[in-house]
Structure 1
Amino acid sequence: MGPTRLPSAAPSSGGGVREARRRETRARLFEAALAEMTQHGLAAADVSAIATAAGVARGTFYFHFPTKEHVLIEVERNEEIRIVGELADAVGDLWSVLSQLVHQILRAKSRLGATVFRDMLGLHFSSARPIEDELAQHPLAEFLVDVITQAQNARQVPQELNAEELGTFFLTGLFALLATGAHDPELLDRYVSTIVKGMEMR
């Protein structure tokens, strides 16, 4: 009798195991990096300490994350997806929806902690931020463009204005305010009011 052959599904099964291990290692590194950044901040976070905490070699970190900034980009995207989910049933006029968006972003500070939240915002104004070209890579911006487009369809905002540019302008100003520590709800409400008045039909 010849040698027993493994079922043809075995290679893909082995590949599935390897992929599961890769994902598990990446998840450990992500959590270790987030813990290190929470304690020390992005600039002082030690990749060797992250790798040790995750139980892997230092080079393994760079296999999964080219830079520490890539970890924060992923943190941000996860938060944006969560915020957009929370706002899925948001109702009201443009001012109301944008105000809800601002308050949801402030809730992210409570979840992430002040240090990670500050570094995440600061990364928007840093030359070290990894380049992202597609709008789909920014769930919050994509949501905002949809909200502004709906306001245009309702004739609250002029059709000739570019919704993507308006959304970028709103978020850039908001992130700049928050990055400087301006978290007062009344100040942020005034910011929303000012931007909305600038968008609305005259």
Structure 2
Amino acid sequence: MLHKLIRREEARVAAELGTFLDSSRDLAAVLKEIVRLVFDLENRWGSVLFRDVIGLYFSPARPENDEWTDHPTIVLLAAEIMRARNRGEFFADVDAFRSAVFFLLGLYALVTTMRTETPGRDGLLDKYVASELRSLRAEAPSPAQ
């Protein structure tokens, strides 16, 4: 039953992200939208259920045959990273799929270890997105970023 809930919500989040991606977006906007969608999911489920479900991804009991291709949000994010890499915005050797997985795992870890009411939570997540973008960029960001 829980597995069905997780898959259904993953599909719903991916559908919302897909709609967001119907118009051209830069990767910063995509990452921020993913953060928003994760917050929405946490609000719908409640923080206790959300943390329990996310904890399953970090559990040794996680199915061994669980592949990144089973997670539509990872697939969509990887495709966006690949497009940006192909446009020359990121280092040529950026592994789009691993970068997508690293971003989402880091995001889930941050969200699950901070309470909703944690002061500065939004600012920390903004810095996380900025850090992810800096790690991928082929050129140094301008001082304003």
Give the TM-score normalised by the residue count of structure 2.
0.82
Give distance in 2, aligned partners of 1:115 and 1:182. Answer: 10
How has the CA–CA distance of structure 1 residues 138 and 132 changed in structure 2, closer, same or farther, with 3 Å as cutoff? farther
Which residues of structure 2 form unaligned runs of 5+?
Answer: 140-145
State yes or no: 1:79 paired with 2:9. yes
Matched with 1:194 is 131
Decide whether the 8 Å contact of 1:121 with 1:175 is kept in 2: yes
Give distance in 2, aligned partners of 1:144 and 1:122. Answer: 21
Counterpart AA for 1:84: A
Matched with 1:117 is 50
Equivalent residues in 2 for 1:126-137, closer than 5 Å: 126-137=59-70
Please provide the CA RMSD for this pair: 1.6
Matched with 2:90 is 157
Q: CA deviation at 1:182?
A: 5.3
Describe the SS at the equivalent of 2:34.
helix
Moved over 6 A (4+): none
Equivalent residues in 2 for 1:31-180, closer than 5 Å: 71=2, 73-90=3-20, 91-180=24-113
Aligned residues with identical type, % of pairs = 34
Report which of the two structures shows the higher radius of gyration computed on alpha carbons: 1
Give distance in 1, aligned partners of 2:115 and 2:98. Answer: 23
Decide whether the 8 Å contact of 1:94 with 1:151 is kept in 2: yes
Give distance in 1, aligned partners of 2:101 and 2:68. Answer: 10
Counterpart AA for 1:119: D
Deviates more, 1:94-103 or 1:180-189: 180-189
How has the CA–CA distance of structure 1 residues 126 and 133 changed in structure 2, closer, same or farther, with 3 Å as cutoff? closer
Which residues of structure 1 form unaligned runs of 5+?
Answer: 1-29, 31-70
